Amino acid sequence: RRTKIVATLGPASDRPGVLERMIAAGVDVVRLNFSHGSADDHRRRLVEVREIATRLGRSVAALGDLQGPKIRIARFRDGAVDLEEGQAFVLDVALDGEAGDAGRVGCDYKALADDVAPGDRLLLDDGRLVVDVTRVAGSEIHTTVVQGGRLSNNKGINKQGGGLSAPALTDKDKADLATAIDIGVDYLAVSFPRSAADMHEARALLGSAGAEIGLVAKLERAEAVADDATLDGIIEASEAVMVARGDLGVEIGDEALIGTQKRIIKHARSHNRAVITATQMMESMIEAPLPTRAEVFDVANAVLDATDAVMLSAETAAGDFPVETIEAMARVCLGAERERIAQESGHRIHEGFSRIDETIALSAMYAANHLAGVAAIACMTATGYTPLIASRIRSGLPIVGLAHNPVAQRRMALYRGVISLPFDTSEMTAGELNDRALERLVAQGIAEPGDHVILTRGDHMNAHGGT
């Protein structure tokens, strides 16, 4: 299987024996969701993941996911209210946080009254309820209910079309970022970035202590995908991006989400960045042992779009069938990858290159795809960059990243089609390298005597940039 699986950890994966079965079933990246749980919960889970992965001989990366400025209503006196179409309803940022009723409710985001104007449409509870702003008076945002329903405590608020000014990194995020460095995550996801500046701020906060942590931009604001320049800026400021279809779909509308997903994946790949497709991919499996046909096609379509990874959220964090969900997702990915379209590539075929390692990586993939008898592409790598570039070209062949650095090894667990293996060259002579590399591939069952293997390496092992 070339497409990687990201699985969120939570109470479901904490059940005895479940985490080991999840990793054995094919999890490549575990997601630690900082919206829930304590620092100790995340530390305990990651220690267990690393121990199991080592025992099973697997490279499993860890993705810490910051909560970001999720804007929410406050709480109702009686826990929930029913809103009817046409009724007046007030969002009052000055109201006591526990005093909500059928006519008004507080809000945890005090600047909301400054960010909205008459005519704006607000979406509550992921778009299940819709209200239109009629006027703003001081702390009160007066609205008319367009689509009613039951509204309960702490539900999210989105503004259709985007435009809320909340910063991407809250005080909680900054504390969680320090925790992420401390427990040793491989990737850190930044929620709701509006532009490249938000990613640069996160990079600065990581500093030298978090220099080896890759940043993932979660694309969930309308502003982030409004034009190609903003999107490309965010992609270039990150190591990977996530198509976060929940909040993004609410802000831009479901009908615009389809093309936007494909555009994000295409742009990420053209900029040599990894991309994760997320949200509700197998949502029904929270409570059912089999996915719906619609979910099967959703996952398969993301695979055919050439996403690096598909992500599970509540399905594995809180669902009844976490292991079965991973097994189902793996089956669907393999089925989609057998289709010819998943193995054909025109990636950058008419473009020039400026980097030697990039030229070599893409040339190796081109040769591998066109020469009969090639079993694999093997890249000796200090950082994982050459396998990343090679993985931008669609292929049916495995790309093997041979790395002495465990951080680089885990980083590669996110890249489509890349198998990352430990390969310590410190005691080897230059003349031994090729033979030892080939022996490693045979031992893993990736190649057999008589196969061709295309091998990329540098003149100076363990040095970055010498491919």
Q: How far is CA 326 from the centre of its chain?
A: 16
Give CA–CA dist 162/140, Å, rounded.
Answer: 20
In this predicted structure, the answer to whether residue 459 has a pLDDT above a threshold of 80 is no
**Which of 206-215, 292-301, 359-368 is predicted least confidently?**
359-368
**What angle do helix axes 293-304 and 322-337 make, rounded to 10 degrees?**
50
Q: Helix 18-25 crosses helix 322-337 at what angle (to 10 degrees)?
A: 0
Asked whether the predicted pLDDT for residue 343 surpasses 80, the reply is no
CA 413 to centroid of chain Cα atoms: 13
Q: Yes or no: say if 198 and 169 are a contact pair by the CB < 8 Å rule.
A: yes
pLDDT higher for 225 or 343? 225
Instruction: Tell me how crowded residue 145 is: count the other CB atoms within 10 A of its CB.
Output: 19
Q: Which listed residue (45, 194, 218, 245) is catalytic? A: 218
Exposure on the CB side of residue 88, measured as CA atoms within 13 A:
7
Per-residue pLDDT at 462: 54
4 is catalytic: no
Is 279 an active-site residue? yes
Taking Cα atoms as reference points, which of 371, 456, 459 lies closest to residue 418? 456
Task: Please tell me the distance from the alpha carbon of residue 36 to that of residue 283, in angstroms, as a whole number.
Answer: 19
Q: What is the pLDDT of residues 403-427, one digit of tens each?
A: 989 999 999 999 999 999 999 888 8
The confidence score (pLDDT) of residue 370 equals 85
Give pLDDT, residue 340.
78
Quickly state the pLDDT bin for 460 (edges 50, 70, 90): low
Selection from 405, 382, 389 nearest residue 356 by Cα: 389
Over the stretch 9-59, which tens digit does the pLDDT of each residue have?
Answer: 999 999 999 999 999 999 999 999 999 999 999 999 999 999 999 999 999
pLDDT tens-digit readout, 147-177: 999 999 999 999 999 989 899 999 999 999 9
Residue 260 near residue 225 (C-beta atoms within 8 A): yes
The answer to whether residue 461 scores a pLDDT higher than 60 is no
Total H helices, total E strands in the chain: 15, 20
**Is residue 201 predicted with pLDDT exceeding 90?**
yes
Model pLDDT for residues 421-449, shown as the tens digit of each residue: 999 888 888 888 899 999 999 999 999 99
Length of the chain, please? 467
Determine whether 3 is exposed, middle or buried from the number of CB atoms within 10 Å of its CB (0-12, 13-18, 19+).
buried
Q: What percent of the chain has pLDDT over 70?
A: 96
**Separation between Cα atoms, residue 318 and residue 408, nearest integer Å:** 30
Which pLDDT does position 429 carry in this prediction?
84
Q: How far apart are alpha carbons 390 and 269 in whole angstroms?
A: 11
Q: Check pLDDT > 80 for residue 94.
A: yes
Name the catalytic one among 8, 279, 383, 456.
279
| Integer CA distances (angstroms), 88 to 78, 138, 140, 143, 177, in order | 19, 17, 12, 6, 41
Mean pLDDT computed over 116-121: 96
Q: Using an 8 Å Cβ cutoff, are 74 and 105 in contact?
A: yes
Q: Does 3 participate in catalysis according to the annotation?
A: no
The active-site residue out of 44, 58, 72, 121 is: 72
Confidence of residue 70 (pLDDT cuts 50, 70, 90): confident
pLDDT for res 78: 92
* Residue 416 falls in the annotated catalytic set: no
Question: Which is catalytic among the residues 2, 31, 245, 392?
Answer: 31
Return the minimum-mean-pLDDT range out of 157-171, 281-295, 347-361. Answer: 347-361
